[in-house]
Amino acid sequence: MALLNLISTINHTLDYEMGRDDRVVVFGEDVGVEGGVFRATVGLQEKYGADRCFDTPLAEGAIVGMAVGMAINGLRPVAEIQFSGFMYPAYNQIVSHVARMRNRTRGRLHLPLVIRMPHGGGIRALEHHSESLETILGHIPGLKVVVPSTPYDAKGLLLSAIRDDDPVIFLEPSKIYRAFRQEVPEGDYTIPIGKAKVVQEGEAVTVVTWGAYVHETLKAAEQLANEGIDAEVIDLRTISPIDRDTIIKSVKKTGRFVVVHEAMKTYGPGAELIALVNEKAFLYLEAPPTRLTGFDITIPLPRGEHHYFLDSDRIAAGIRKVVNF
């Protein structure tokens, strides 16, 4: 066991899996010599050589496109996109090829590849460094989309992702890269993709969230607990495919539903979860299922970004409303 933060866990996990499986190769911009702008890949080039961990020219489309070819020819590439806002140049590759190769060839080819990227805001960075991509990736059949919220989960989920025979987009909440440490076992363990986790049990209301917002939501739940409101908090962990059972079971128990996320509201990820709850648990609902989300604006530059985020106060206020409906 080691006490690791999220970013060192990513580093440890890549190291672990590269050590175990020499089909795993890691690349992207500044990934090799420097070890990544966030230091996710630090030391890997020294340890495994420049043919297993290397820098690429600046071209996200080619990075992902190359990963496609490598995956077909027997490797398990783990590509890094430097920030989620620079995923867009690779979107054509992701939608048109990464997501479709298995279906297109009726199973003849498949793509065991992972695309990692820092995700979301909160690090006071420049424009395009704070994007939330859940919807535009989650909507695409053939992709799996994962967001860990803790170091422990990150290792288990990333190992699952690399070992998955389908492509996995691995969104890392950069806000909590260094926010806290946790005991992370040095050995092998996986956490299944597609399974949510009840991180706090409760009876009053079901609150689903993921990534950095899990922690803000748990804080809100603590506030509410002091008021006698016991919220059930679920960490979705996988954006796609959605763990419907865990959510629906909880809503059937609580009768109330709130989804909390950083992404923009309209056509955002929360909409899907509300539609799902309507489909599967409508008659159990005692209050309108509610979204607590980012505004429908471009996430502001650092001086304004705090307005965009939901802090635990705003989350608590939103949940309170649903409980008191």
Partner 1 sequence: MLIERFDPLKGEMLRIMDEEGQIIAPDLKPDLSDERVLELYKVMLLTRAADTKALQLQRQGRMLTYAPNTGQEAAQTASAAALGENDWLVPAFRELGAWLMKGVSLETIYLYWYGNEWGSHFPENVRMLPISIPIGSQLNHAVGLAMASKYKGERDVALGYVGDGGTSIGDFSEALNFAGVFDAPVIFVIQNNQYAISVKRQIQTRAATLAQKAVAAGIPGILVDGNDLLAVYAAVSEAVERARAGQGPTLIEAYTYRLGAHTTSDDPTKYREDNEVVEWRAKDPVKRVKQYLIAQGLWSEEQDAAQSTEYEEYALEVFRKIEETGDPQVEDLFKYTYKEMPEHLEEQLSEYLQYLEGKVK
Closer Cβ to partner 1, 211 or 294, answer by number:
294
Q: Give the C-alpha separation, 47 to 45, whole Å.
A: 5
Of the candidates 92, 322, 88, 318, the one whose C-alpha atom is nearest the C-alpha of residue 217 is 318
| Per-residue x/- track, 56-85, ligand TPP (CB under 6 A) | --x-x---------------------x---
Question: Binding residue for partner 1 (CB under 8 A) from 3, 19, 46, 165?
Answer: 165
Degrees to nearest 5, angle at CA 220 with 83 and 119: 5
Measured over the CA atoms of residue 61, residue 66, residue 68 and residue 71, the dihedral's sign is negative
**For residues 40 and 113, which CB has a smaller minimum distance to a copy of itself in the complex?**
113
Q: How is residue 146 annotated by DSSP?
A: E
Residues 239 to 278: which contact a copy of itself by CB under 8 A? Answer: 240-242, 264, 266-272, 274-275, 278
Question: For the range 312-316, what are the long-range contacts, defined as Cβ-Cβ under 8 Å and sequence gap of 24 or more?
Answer: 312/216, 312/217, 312/219, 312/220, 312/222, 312/223, 313/220, 313/223, 315/213, 315/216, 315/217, 315/219, 315/220, 315/260, 316/220, 316/221, 316/223, 316/224
Query: Contact letters (x/-) for a copy of itself, 73-102, by CB under 8 A?
Result: ------------x--xx-xx--xx--xx--
Q: Is 62 exposed, middle or buried (0-12, 13-18, 19+ CB in 10 A)?
A: middle
Tell me which stretch binds a copy of itself (CB under 8 A): 114-122, 151-159, 228-236, 291-299. Answer: 291-299
Q: Which does 51 bind (CB under 5 to 8 A by kind): partner 1, a copy of itself, ligand TPP, none?
A: partner 1
Other C-beta atoms within 10 Å of 126: how many? 10
For residues 191 and 154, give the distance between their C-alpha atoms in angstroms, rounded to a whole number: 9
Residue 1 interacting partner from ligand TPP, partner 1, a copy of itself, none (CB closer than 5 to 8 Å by kind) = none
Find the shortest distance in angstroms from Cβ 204 to a copy of itself.
Answer: 18
Residues 174-213 that bind partner 1 (CB under 8 A): 194
Q: Rule CB under 6 A: which residues touch ligand TPP?
A: 29, 58, 60, 82, 86, 89
Q: Rule CB under 8 A: which residues touch a copy of itself?
A: 85, 88-89, 91-92, 95-96, 99-100, 103-104, 127-128, 134-136, 138-142, 240-242, 264, 266-272, 274-275, 278-279, 282-283, 285, 287-291, 296-298
